[in-house]
Amino acid sequence: MDVKQLKALITVAEVGSVTRAAELLHLVQPAVTRQIRTLEQELGVPLFERTRQGMRPTEAGAIMVDRARRALGELERARAEVQPAPGVVTGIVTVGLLESASDLLAEPLVSAVARDHPGIELRLMTAYSGHLQRWLDDGDLDLTLLYDLDSTPSLNARPLVRERLWAVAPPSAGLRADRPVPFAETAARPLVMPTPGHALRSLIDAAATRAGAALDVAVQTNSMRVQKQLVLAGHGWTVLPGVGIAEDVARGTLSAAPLCEPDVWRSIVLGTPRSGRTPQAVEVVARELVRGINSAISQGSWPSAQAQGTDARAADV
């Protein structure tokens, strides 16, 4: 198999049409059909089935599409890492950001890399910690923020930030940063909660056990944005990290206060793979990400956060 065949495979799978794939690849339709057929003959399995909705990958086809994307991605990375001049860092770096921290960290990271390392192409992915860890393990991320995780055989986890969780309510509740709210008082309210299995939900459930409090769960969602919308609409209170609600509180669209009795904390780490060579571009981006975190904490834009070993050396991977 060759690169042209893999590109044809991926494009047909994405658009569901040989005709449309040929247009995107600037080829004639028979050429794309021939590339797919040759690949199927080499593998000995059909890769697509025709449906009313178009060309759909078979089970074997879906596996090949996934692997082909990664193979072409690695070739693209290798091409980008060939330095055009001494001292110029180049490459493609894919970074995972926690959804709760992306608004605070994404733009400063992009600006710093564009200003100081224009040869690096950044790709940002945002999600919850569990998804980001899986993507890192699968090789789809070069580095990522995760929380409440220790190093494992597959990844290094370097502590960066320790931050409190906050009770979050509509503005009418009058919650204030200088008046912590007992966990039991929060638990007695109808709550908009993360879904079970979510790492944040596990932290909240553990705190409820320590406080001897039963949670009054009104609704569950896997979206932080939806959590805040439902709180604002009056469906209950919620619990979120301070970084996720700082702008909302500053605008007055939500009110919030740190939890107490017990205090509830989460730790954010920088996750990087243990295996393989670490490209210089990845090291550079890791340092810029850590500097951005340091800056956010020192400027007070990351509420109730404490830095944990976040000097530039801590980001070396």
pLDDT at 286 over 90: yes
| Phi/psi of residue 76, nearest 5 degrees | -65, -40
- What integer pLDDT is reported at residue 87 of this predicted model? 66
Cβ–Cβ < 8 Å for 123, 93: yes
List pLDDT tens digits, range 231-285: 999 999 999 998 889 889 989 999 999 999 999 999 999 999 887 778 889 999 9
Q: How confident is the model at residue 313 (pLDDT cuts 50, 70, 90)?
A: very low
HSE at residue 10, side-chain half, CA atoms within 13 A, is: 16
Cβ–Cβ < 8 Å for 93, 121: yes
List pLDDT tens digits, range 143-192: 999 988 887 788 889 999 999 999 999 999 999 999 999 999 999 999 99
Distance of CA 47 to the CA centre of its chain: 31
Distances in Å between the Cα of 56 and the Cα atoms of 16, 48, 86, 174, 204 are: 6, 5, 46, 54, 42
Distances in Å between the Cα of 1 and the Cα atoms of 27, 44, 71, 162, 166 are: 18, 13, 12, 49, 54
List pLDDT tens digits, range 89-142: 888 899 999 988 898 999 999 999 999 999 899 999 998 888 898 888 888 899
Q: How confident is the model at residue 83 (pLDDT cuts 50, 70, 90)?
A: low
SS3 of residue 244 by DSSP: helix
pLDDT at 70 over 60: yes
Domains 3-81 and 91-161+267-315 share a fold: no
Q: How confident is the model at residue 309 (pLDDT cuts 50, 70, 90)?
A: low
Which phi-psi region, left, alpha or beta, contains residue 18 (left: φ > 0; alpha: ψ -120 to 50)? alpha
What would the mean pLDDT of 40-65 be, rounded to a whole number? Answer: 89
Helices (H), 199-306: 199-211, 224-232, 246-251, 280-298
Distance CA 45, CA 1 (A): 14
CATH code of 164-265, in short, is: 3.40.190.290
Query: What are the sequence ranges of the domains in the chain?
Result: 3-81, 91-161+267-315, 164-265
Q: Kindly report the CA angle at 246 between 140 and 301, in degrees rounded to 5? A: 85
**CATH label, 91-161+267-315, candidates 3.40.190.10, 3.40.1110.10, 3.40.50.11540, 3.40.718.10:** 3.40.190.10
* Average pLDDT of the residues of the chain: 88
Q: Kindly report the CA angle at 228 between 220 and 232, in degrees rounded to 5? A: 110
- What integer pLDDT is reported at residue 255 of this predicted model? 95
Which phi-psi region, left, alpha or beta, contains residue 304 (left: φ > 0; alpha: ψ -120 to 50)? left
Cβ–Cβ < 8 Å for 102, 122: no
- What integer pLDDT is reported at residue 106 of this predicted model? 94
Q: Which residue has the higher pLDDT, 180 or 314?
A: 180
> Of all residues in the chain, what percent carry a pLDDT higher than 70?
95
The architecture (CATH level 2) of 3-81 comes to Orthogonal Bundle (1.10)
- Count of C-beta atoms within a 10 Å radius of residue 169: 22
